[in-house]
Amino acid sequence: MRTEILPLGSDSLARAKELLLAGELVAFPTETVYGLGADARSDAAVENIYRVKGRPSDNPLIVHVHKDYDLSLLVEDDRSYAAKLREAFLPGPLTLVYKSRGRVSAKVSCGLDTLAVRVPSHPSAQEFLKYVGIPVAAPSANISKHVSPVSAQHVYDDLHGKIPLILDGGACSGGIESTVCDVTGDYPVVLRQGLVSREMIESVTGKCGLYVPKAGEQVRSPGMKYKHYAPACRTCLFEADEIGKALTCFYRNRDAGMRVLILCEEAAADNFPSDSVLRLGNTAEEMAANLYALLRDAETKADMLIAVKPHARGGVMDGVLNRLCKACAGEEK
Ligand code: AMP
Ligand code: MG
């Protein structure tokens, strides 16, 4: 299959709609990462997503709709605090998990009685969703467990030959996946951290939980149990105060003939040889925006990536750290 990359316009939108209604997949930009979209109402189309990505069949998908879409068509038992969250943060990088009305393919939620819905703020995503008019099921447009794509080229690198169309809306500004928040209970519970932080949600609703899976328990957000976001090169991860150890690791591996790069916050960059440093930036928002492009850059240039955690904690930084740890943890130093 030939994969076309087309800028968003009347011709490409018409083609995208035609493909989606025929059960095919279309990648599209959002303010977080690129999504791999399918008609959420069609079992066959949704199955295509799992097949093309190699995604585990128990990892549910988020349904994307435009800002004027009537949510009550898809979900029920809407809580009053959920309306406040929509008012405060949508359109934007916040996915809300509601009780489902069962109007989309059961494969979207992998048999759960809930449905995750997102209204992206990216103008091209809005234009695309408005034009096609249907609920679009979309995970990130990467091969399962690889780093999420933040440009049309990243999508192409992972999925060319497997999907017919990528709508190009330039680089994503947000950079990490949406916050996922369960709104089925008496108060909201964050299932996945992201650019809308737990603190931001709490400031609107007064209370907000954070779901931390316990060993042996059935997880509430199945996607969280998988290792994600990993670059193709070897990785290892050091704490913010382990600069000395990170340097030792750098020289040991470089002297053994490896191409080694270091990923760290701006404030730590001067500790390392400047031609070997990938700079995440200063603020949590900058780091979120830069992280995935740097991970994808690293895997093409290095045999090994040494990541050093930033110092700050809380707010958006928790989402950045979650992704950094999932991408780079798990190997012996
Ligand atoms: P991705 O689209 O790859 O960013 O992953 C979607 C995330 O949303 C995963 O972590 C899923 O576990 C989570 N998710 C999707 N639908 C639901 C749902 N109905 N209940 C809980 N979590 C969900
Ligand atoms: Mg994903």
**Residue 109 CB less than 6 A away from ligand 1:** yes
Q: How far is CA 74 from the centre of its chain?
A: 22
- The answer to whether 191 touches 211, Cβ cutoff 8 Å, is yes
**Residue 222 CB less than 6 A away from ligand 1:** yes
The residues with which 182 forms a beta bridge, in sequence order, are 97, 189
DSSP readout, 197-221? -HHHHHHHHS--EE--PPTTSPPSS
**Residue 322 CB less than 6 A away from ligand 1:** no
Nearest to 54 by CA among 36, 27, 76, 75: 36
Helices within 120-270 (DSSP H only):
123-132, 152-159, 198-205, 243-255
- Cβ neighbours, 10 Å, residue 265: 21
**What tokens appear for 31 in the block?**
């303010």
- Cβ neighbours for 270, distance < 8 A, ≥ 6 positions apart: none
- Looking at the chain, the number of H-run helices and the number of E-run strands are 9, 16
C-alpha 326/C-alpha 41 separation (Å) is 32
274 alpha carbon to ligand 2 midpoint, in Å? 32
- Cβ neighbours, 10 Å, residue 272: 21
54 alpha carbon to ligand 2 midpoint, in Å? 11
**pLDDT of the residue at 224:** 58
**Residue 116 CB less than 6 A away from ligand 1:** yes
**Residue 149 CB less than 6 A away from ligand 1:** no
C-alpha 258/C-alpha 29 separation (Å) is 35
**pLDDT of the residue at 225:** 56
C-alpha 133/C-alpha 20 separation (Å) is 11
From atom 22 of ligand 1, which residue's Cα is the shortest distance away? Answer: 221
**pLDDT of the residue at 317:** 97
**pLDDT of the residue at 329:** 80
pLDDT by 10s per residue, the chain, length 333: 999 999 999 999 999 999 999 999 999 999 999 999 999 999 999 999 999 999 998 999 999 999 999 999 999 989 999 999 999 999 999 999 999 999 999 999 999 999 999 999 999 999 999 999 999 999 999 999 999 999 999 999 999 999 999 999 999 999 899 999 999 999 999 999 999 999 999 999 999 999 987 766 666 666 555 556 789 999 999 999 999 999 999 999 999 999 999 999 999 999 999 999 999 999 999 999 999 999 999 999 999 999 999 999 999 999 999 999 999 986 544
Nearest to 93 by CA among 257, 282, 259, 289: 289
**pLDDT of the residue at 333:** 44
Which H/E stretch holds residue 327?
Answer: helix 316-328
- The answer to whether 96 touches 105, Cβ cutoff 8 Å, is no
Ligand whose nearest atom lies closest to the CA of 59? 1
From atom 3 of ligand 1, which residue's Cα is the shortest distance away? Answer: 139
**pLDDT of the residue at 219:** 64
- Cβ neighbours for 189, distance < 8 A, ≥ 6 positions apart: 181, 182, 208, 209, 210, 211, 220
Peptide bond between residue 123 and the one before it cis (omega within 30 degrees of 0) = no
Ligand whose nearest atom lies closest to the CA of 226? 1
**pLDDT of the residue at 213:** 77
